[in-house]
């Protein structure tokens, strides 16, 4: 063992060595501290929450399938039905939404319950596949044709929609289900409700009133209370109003006023099969489309074949929690009927695009006159030209 303390020179050398080690260690700690300060000043390592969230809802009115449309979709070679062709020209607009919604005014009850159109609808299940392919996410299933194939039709329709990845609200398979839907879309929590004024004279079985949500105000107000605290935005679909009337009834206006006062933010209406006006409050926090008209059908007449695809942009301020309707845009559409290879066909087309570019060979010169009238009808019905919030969507953007 070496005894350093027996030699004073060695003691001094040892002290100097220890001092240098301490200085070195101290310098290293100082550098680390300086590095940490620089990292902290450069900003947090994780992304901060956005100050606002934006979501776009694309909504349409009545999805109807009459006998002539079923005939168009039938392929005699394969014995199958395909509805893609009817909606192919508007698929790009539907797919632009963060969530795309529509009113399914038919049942998907199965071939054994016989396919048919008006007055009691039952459409081939492949319609669900088409609707999913063209962009739909959620369908309202509470309307006066929901019960056309009774209880089995209600249950099977829900099952067939689920099979193709489509959600629905307005009908239920079992009593324990809520009959309402909560979804988060781009960080905005949304609640969806749906109700119908009636079922074309049919009554729901005793003890199974849960199958279809009927437009009973006490029930609706209770549902609003259930979802209001859980949602940033409450959307309520109502199947109500007077068929083929371009103006909302006084009853429609009163119901919308009441529901909005009780916590609904957006009311989407159907049943008249024609367009009706849009109402938007000054604060851009409440709105109603009293009737969205027919999205697709075999009905005749300018007002029944003319409608719109609506784009509603929702903005949420994450600092204040305030949610507002940033914009309401509409794309005028028209269901064109034409004959091809001796077969009657239907196709939903964007009116402004058709008039501007004339891309469709099946349109004749007289058809463009009709489209001009249809465009004017949509513009005059939906909103005044001076509106800064409600305006036609620029088709050139597609």
CB-count burial class (<10 Å; 0-12, 13-18, 19+) for 374: buried
pLDDT in tens, 351-389: 999 999 999 999 999 999 999 999 999 999 997 766 788
Q: Tell me which of 24-28, 187-191, 315-319 is least confident.
A: 24-28
> At residue 7, does pLDDT exceed 80?
no
Ordered DSSP codes for 316-338: EETTT--EEEEEEEEEEEEEEEE
Average pLDDT, the chain: 90
Query: Is residue 34 predicted with pLDDT exceeding 80?
Result: no
Q: Are residues 24 and 155 in the same domain?
A: no
Which residues lie below 8 Å from residue 137, measured CB to CB, with a gap of 6+?
97, 99, 100, 101, 166, 167
In this structure, what is the dihedral angle of CA atoms 303, 83, 63, 115, given to the nearest 10 degrees? 110
pLDDT tens, residue by residue, 287-313 = 999 999 999 999 999 999 999 999 999
21 & 122 share domain: no
Residue 226 backbone dihedrals phi, psi, to 5 degrees:
-65, -40
Q: Cβ(234)–Cβ(227) under 8 Å?
A: yes
Check residue 11 and give its pLDDT. Answer: 42
pLDDT in tens, 104-153: 999 999 999 999 999 999 999 999 999 999 999 999 999 999 999 999 99
Q: In this structure, are 34 and 80 located in the same domain?
A: no
Q: Is residue 243 included in any domain, yes or no? A: yes
Beta strands across the sheet bearing 278-280? 181-185, 188-196, 233-239, 266-270, 287-289, 278-280
- Compute the distance between CA of residue 278 and CA of residue 395 in angstroms, rounded to an integer: 21
Same domain, 108 and 9: no
pLDDT score for 178: 86
Reported as a single tens digit per residue, the pLDDT across 48-84 is 668 999 999 999 999 999 999 999 999 999 999 999 9
Residue 397 Cα to chain centre, angstroms: 20
Per-residue pLDDT tens over the stretch 227-262: 999 999 999 999 999 999 999 999 999 999 999 999
Distance CA 70, CA 106 (A): 12
Q: Is the pLDDT of residue 41 over 80?
A: no
pLDDT tens digit string along 331-340? Answer: 999 999 999 9
Domain span at 22: 4-40
Q: Is residue 281 domain-shared with residue 315, that is, in the same domain? A: yes
Query: pLDDT exceeding 90 applies to what percent of the chain?
Result: 83
pLDDT > 80? residue 39: no
pLDDT value at residue 240? 98
Mean pLDDT on 36-54: 59
Look at the chain and report how many structural domains it folds into. Answer: 2
Cβ–Cβ under 8 Å, residues 290 and 277:
yes
- 250 within some domain: yes
- In this predicted structure, what is the pLDDT of residue 48? 67
Q: Is the dihedral of CA 243, 245, 247, 250 positive or negative?
A: negative
Asked if residue 47 is part of any domain, the answer here is no
| Strands 266-270, 188-196: pairing kind | unpaired
C-beta of residue 79 within 8 angstroms of C-beta of residue 38: no
Report d(CA 37, CA 52) in Å as an integer.
Answer: 30
CA 372 to chain CA centroid, nearest Å: 28
The pLDDT tens digits of the residues spanning 272-285 come to: 999 999 999 999 99
Give yes or no: residues 148 and 245 share one domain.
yes
216 & 245 share domain: yes
At 221, is the pLDDT very low, low, confident or very high (cuts 50, 70, 90)? Answer: very high
Per residue in 86-97, pLDDT (tens digit) is 999 999 999 999
| DSSP for 267-292, written as a single string | EEEESSSSB--EEE-TTSS-EEES-B
Q: Is pLDDT of 330 > 70? A: yes
Can you give the pLDDT at residue 385? 67
Kindly state whether residues 74 and 202 are assigned to the same domain. yes
Two tokens at 285?
A: 């926090």
pLDDT value for 290 = 98
Identify any residues that bridge with 337 across adjacent strands, giving them in sequence order. 346
Domain with residue 256: its CATH number is 3.60.21.10
Q: CA–CA separation, 346 vs 210, rounded Å?
A: 36
By DSSP bridging, strand 167-169 and strand 278-280 are: unpaired
**Per-residue model confidence as pLDDT tens digits over 156-197:** 999 999 999 999 999 999 998 988 999 999 999 999 999 999
pLDDT for position 50: 80
pLDDT value at residue 358: 96
Q: How, if at all, do strands 306-317 and 233-239 pair?
A: unpaired
Q: Looking at the structure, tell me whether residues 27 and 130 fall in a common domain.
A: no
In a domain, 46, yes or no: no
Residue 173 CB neighbours (<10 A): 16
The answer to whether 140 and 101 have CB atoms below 8 angstroms apart is: yes
DSSP state of 144: T
3-class secondary structure per residue, 72-102: HHEECCCCEECCHHHHHHHHHHHCCCCEEEE
């Amino acid at each position: 063992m070496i005894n350093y303390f027996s030699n004073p020179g060695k003691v001094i050398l040892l002290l100097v060595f220890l001092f240098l080690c301490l200085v070195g260690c101290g310098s290293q700690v100082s550098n680390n501290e300086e590095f940490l300060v620089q990292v902290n000043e450069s900003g947090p390592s994780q992304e901060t929450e956005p100050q606002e969230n934006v979501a776009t809802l694309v909504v349409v009115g009545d999805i109807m399938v009459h006998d002539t449309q079923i005939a168009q979709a039938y392929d005699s070679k394969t014995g199958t039905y395909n509805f893609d062709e009817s909606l192919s020209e508007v698929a790009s607009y539907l797919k632009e939404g963060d969530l795309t919604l529509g009113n399914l005014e038919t049942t998907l009850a199965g071939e054994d319950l016989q396919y048919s159109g008006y007055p009691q609808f039952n459409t081939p299940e492949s319609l669900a596949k088409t609707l999913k392919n063209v962009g739909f996410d959620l369908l309202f299933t509470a309307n006066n044709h929901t019960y056309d194939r009774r209880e089995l039709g209600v249950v099977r329709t829900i099952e067939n929609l689920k099979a193709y990845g489509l959600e629905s609200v307005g009908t239920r398979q079992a009593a324990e289900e809520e009959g309402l839907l909560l979804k988060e879309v781009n960080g905005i929590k949304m609640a969806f409700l749906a109700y119908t004024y009636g079922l074309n004279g049919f009554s729901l079985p005793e003890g199974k009133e849960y199958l279809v949500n009927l437009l009973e105000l006490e029930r609706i107000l209770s549902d609003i209370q259930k979802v209001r605290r859980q949602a940033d935005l409450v959307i309520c679909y109502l199947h109500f109003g007077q068929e083929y009337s371009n103006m909302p009834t006084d009853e429609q206006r009163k119901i919308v006023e009441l529901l909005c006062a009780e916590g609904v933010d957006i009311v989407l209406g159907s049943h008249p099969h024609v367009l009706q006006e849009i109402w938007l409050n000054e604060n851009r926090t409440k709105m109603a489309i009293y009737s969205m008209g027919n999205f697709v059908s075999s009905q005749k007449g300018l007002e029944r074949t003319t409608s719109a695809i609506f784009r509603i942009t929702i903005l949420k301020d994450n600092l204040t929690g305030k949610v507002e309707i940033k914009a309401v845009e509409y794309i005028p559409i028209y269901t064109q009927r034409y004959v091809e290879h001796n077969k009657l066909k239907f196709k939903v087309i964007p009116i402004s695009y058709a008039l501007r570019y004339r891309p469709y060979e099946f349109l004749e010169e007289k058809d463009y006159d009709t489209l001009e009238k249809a465009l004017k009808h949509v513009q005059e019905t939906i909103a005044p030209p001076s509106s800064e919030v409600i305006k036609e969507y620029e088709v050139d953007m597609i």
